């Protein structure tokens, strides 16, 4: 198997750390040979780590693309609204592409990317990393083997965690759905993908409701200042930027998302100049839901609910699956899958199985590693269908778009009608 040569577009948390760390640890399989990143410090940091020649470091992607195809593949890991144009350029030049989720905030662009990949005869994979985790692989196996009989329904929850919500979706890059993507796409298209993978059929209709309820100026404590570093409540506020970033000033998440090589001085400068240092109740352009619920129906008759909320003490996913012969409860916090068979004595040991999937090193419970290994095999021409091909990812993206439309219009959305609307724009 040859070592594949890859250009990375976007030297942020995913491009530099999640996938970049894998590349550094697997130089016999994959190497970064080019970086495209507008932030000079982030670009220089990634280039130094991967020994990328200066002539292969670009501020502007067009400067890179004008050279044509100079390596085997591209990882696209910049901001959501940039994905479409960048990926089209890459596909048209014959690159295989690994595209960070979501593919794009626009439903028409999403379908067009699928067509563009087919037209150019290249591979487009989407970073739905949860399919590669031992945890969800095991649940998938149990469902497919009908351990709980025929699947009838589900209840899935994405508990964002108050600290993650504040960092990414109140202060951070995804705080404004018009500039990036709505929460149900930006954060939970992972969950939509897992739901479709487990159900193994097409979603036919959705209804969704949600809003920005808490992170608004009317809920701010009376004594709070607009900037955290000037606030009297730093020692008691769970969202204090001083406590989250400055008092924990190390090169780890979430501090390392603020600047390339965080120090007290560089982090303080970011807090002074950006929304990362702003009170969570006073970020003026934040419009992202902090809680949302969706009801979904599938072609095979399965129905279920999905909840995403900021108001949890920890960040984890939990899933309940209801079958004709039993049920499954699983949560990533405890790394535990509990199978209960229906019976006269449902609490007897013979009716309960507790599974602890193997914990794997790496982001997303080892999912980042599995994704990269699949990508390498695809680029090397293994001939196998990738687990997260663009064809697989379309369904979950359509569900997310439809849920957001339902939330805004306060009505049920039929997926087929929604697809016709999208295609009418072509």
pLDDT tens digits for range 238-276: 999 999 999 989 888 899 889 878 999 999 999 999 999
Q: Which of 90, 1, 6 is nearest to 50 (CA)?
A: 6
pLDDT at 196 > cutoff 90: yes
Sequence-ordered list of residues with C-beta below 8 angstroms from that of 66, at least 6 positions apart, any chain? none
pLDDT of residue 350: 74
Question: How far apart are the C-alpha atoms of 284 and 175, rounded to whole Å?
Answer: 10
pLDDT of residue 309: 97
pLDDT at 366 > cutoff 80: no
Delimit the CATH 3.30.360.10 region(s) of the chain: 131-216+287-362+393-423
Architecture of the 4-130+368-388 domain:
3-Layer(aba) Sandwich (3.40)
Question: How far apart are the C-alpha atoms of 420 and 253, rounded to whole Å?
Answer: 41
Contact at 8 Å (CB) between 19 and 368?
yes
Q: Which of 131, 155, 203 is nearest to 330 (CA)?
A: 155
Delimit the CATH 3.40.50.720 region(s) of the chain: 4-130+368-388
How confident is the model over 12-43, as pLDDT tens digits? Answer: 989 998 999 999 999 999 999 999 999 999 99
How confident is the model over 183-193, as pLDDT tens digits? Answer: 999 999 999 99
How confident is the model over 394-426, as pLDDT tens digits? Answer: 999 999 999 999 999 999 999 999 999 987 765
Contact at 8 Å (CB) between 2 and 380?
yes
Q: In what order do the strands lie in the sheet with 73-76?
A: 57-58, 30-36, 4-9, 73-76, 96-99, 124-126
Question: How far apart are the C-alpha atoms of 317 and 332, rounded to whole Å?
Answer: 6
pLDDT at 344 > cutoff 70: no
CA distances 218 to 120, 177, 237, 282, Å, are 52, 21, 16, 9
Tell me the percentage of the chain whose pLDDT exceeds 90. Answer: 85
Question: How far apart are the C-alpha atoms of 346 and 35, rounded to whole Å?
Answer: 56
The per-residue pLDDT of the chain, averaged, comes to 94
Burial class (CB in 10 A: 0-12, 13-18, 19+), 283: buried
Q: Is the pTM value of this prediction over 0.85? A: yes
What are the residues facing 208 on neighbouring strands? 294
pLDDT at 363 > cutoff 70: no
pLDDT at 359 > cutoff 80: no
pLDDT of residue 202: 94
Please compute the mean of the pLDDT values over residues 323-327 and round it to a whole number: 96
CA distances 276 to 160, 229, 273, 414, Å, are 18, 11, 8, 39
Backbone phi and psi for residue 391, each to the nearest 5 degrees, phi listed first: -65, -40
CATH no., domain 131-216+287-362+393-423: 3.30.360.10
pLDDT of residue 396: 93
């Amino acid at each position: 198997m040859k070592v594949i040569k890859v250009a990375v577009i976007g030297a942020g948390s995913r491009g530099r750390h999640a996938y970049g760390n894998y590349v550094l640890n697997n130089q016999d399989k994959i190497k970064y040979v080019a970086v495209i990143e507008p932030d000079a410090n982030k670009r220089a940091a990634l280039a130094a780590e991967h020994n990328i020649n200066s002539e292969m470091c670009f501020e502007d992607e067009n400067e890179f693309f004008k050279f044509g195809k100079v390596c085997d593949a591209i990882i696209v890991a910049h901001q959501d609204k940039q994905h479409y144009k960048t990926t089209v350029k890459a596909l048209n030049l014959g690159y295989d592409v690994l595209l960070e989720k979501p593919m794009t905030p626009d439903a028409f662009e999403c379908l067009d990317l699928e067509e563009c990949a087919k037209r150019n005869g290249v591979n487009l994979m989407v970073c739905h990393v949860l399919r590669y985790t031992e945890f969800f692989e095991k649940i998938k196996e149990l469902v497919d083997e009908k351990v709980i009989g025929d699947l009838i329904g589900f209840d899935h929850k994405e508990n964002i965690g108050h600290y993650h919500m504040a960092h990414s979706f109140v202060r951070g890059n995804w705080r404004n759905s018009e500039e990036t993507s709505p929460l149900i796409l930006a954060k939970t298209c992972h969950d939509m993908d897992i739901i479709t993978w487990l159900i193994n059929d097409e979603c036919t209709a959705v209804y969704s409701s949600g809003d920005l309820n808490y992170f608004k100026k009317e809920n701010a404590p009376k004594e709070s200042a607009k900037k955290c570093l000037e606030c009297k409540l730093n020692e008691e506020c769970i969202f204090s930027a001083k406590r989250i970033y400055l008092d924990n000033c190390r090169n780890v998440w979430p501090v390392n998302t603020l600047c390339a090589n965080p120090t007290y001085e560089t982090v303080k400068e970011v807090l002074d100049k950006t929304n990362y240092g702003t009170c969570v109740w006073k970020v003026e352009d934040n419009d992202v839901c902090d809680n949302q619920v969706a009801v979904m129906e599938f072609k095979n008759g399965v129905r279920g609910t999905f909840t995403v909320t900021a108001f949890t003490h920890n960040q984890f996913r939990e899933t309940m699956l209801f079958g004709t012969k039993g049920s499954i409860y699983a949560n990533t916090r405890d790394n535990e899958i509990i199978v209960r068979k229906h019976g006269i004595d449902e609490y007897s040991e013979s009716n309960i199985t507790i599974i602890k999937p193997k914990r794997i090193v790496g982001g997303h419970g080892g999912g980042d590693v599995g994704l990269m290994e699949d990508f390498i095999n695809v680029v090397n021409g293994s001939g196998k269908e990738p687990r997260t091909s663009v064809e697989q990812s379309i369904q979950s993206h359509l569900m997310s778009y439809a849920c957001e439309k339902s939330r805004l219009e306060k009505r049920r959305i039929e997926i087929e009608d929604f697809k016709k609307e999208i295609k009418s724009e072509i």
